[in-house]
Structure formats: C-alpha cells, structure tokens
Amino acid sequence: MGIEAKTFKHIVAKPFAPNLGAEITGVDLSQTISEAEFSEIEAAFLAYQVLFFKDQKEIPPQVHIDLGKRFGPLHSHPAAPTMAGYPEIFEIHATRHSKVANGEFWHSDVSCDE
C-alpha cells in the first residue's frame, strides 16, 4: 500500500519510499519562501515525515534560521560548536582527515538536554 502522492500548487512532492519520505522540488530554499510555499512544505512534512531537498543552492545562514523558526522555536545547545555569529546553527562536519566523526553524540530530539 504505502503513502500516496500529494498534489500541491507550488511544490512537487515525489514519494521517496513506500512508507516514508518524499523528494521536494520546485522551491529555492536559498531565498525566503512565500507563506504558500511554506504551508505546502509543512503539509508535505506532516504527510511524508521526512523531506529531501536535492540540488539546492547554498542556503545563507539567516535564511536557514528563519525557515527553521517557521516550524517552531529553535534550540541552541550550550556546549555544541556553532557557526560564528549564528548560535542557532549547530555545525556538524568532518573532513577526510578527521580522526572522529563529528556529531557522534548528537540527538535530533535534544532529549539529552531535558
């Protein structure tokens, strides 16, 4: 059975797997999106639970923060490495020369803080 494809006016949501996830196209996240675009992204998130936005341009930090805040309050972890000037952005990265993987103890729900 699986999840059904949803029809939207501003975005395209292509189911990624039978029961979870969709690839979203038709929106440029490097720019501030309209309320109509956000409403459709939010509806797609509720329907598919996981969204993939492939081939996006680099998203400026403040645009990224502003988009995140549209979903709800953002959490700034007091001990996490953040992007300079943007405490809401928790940097998780590694290079091919890194000795450990960054983000090893990261919790998506921040339950470790509660």
* pLDDT tens string 44-95: 999 999 999 999 999 999 999 999 999 999 988 777 788 899 999 988 777 8
Measured between its terminal Cα atoms, the distance across the chain in Å is 38
Nearest-CA neighbor of 16 among 7, 8, 24?
Answer: 24
Residue listed under structure tokens 């992007």: 83
Q: How confident is the model at residue 108 (pLDDT cuts 50, 70, 90)?
A: low
Cα 69 from Cα 18, distance rounded (Å): 30
Cα 51 from Cα 47, distance rounded (Å): 10
- Which pLDDT value is given to residue 78? 77
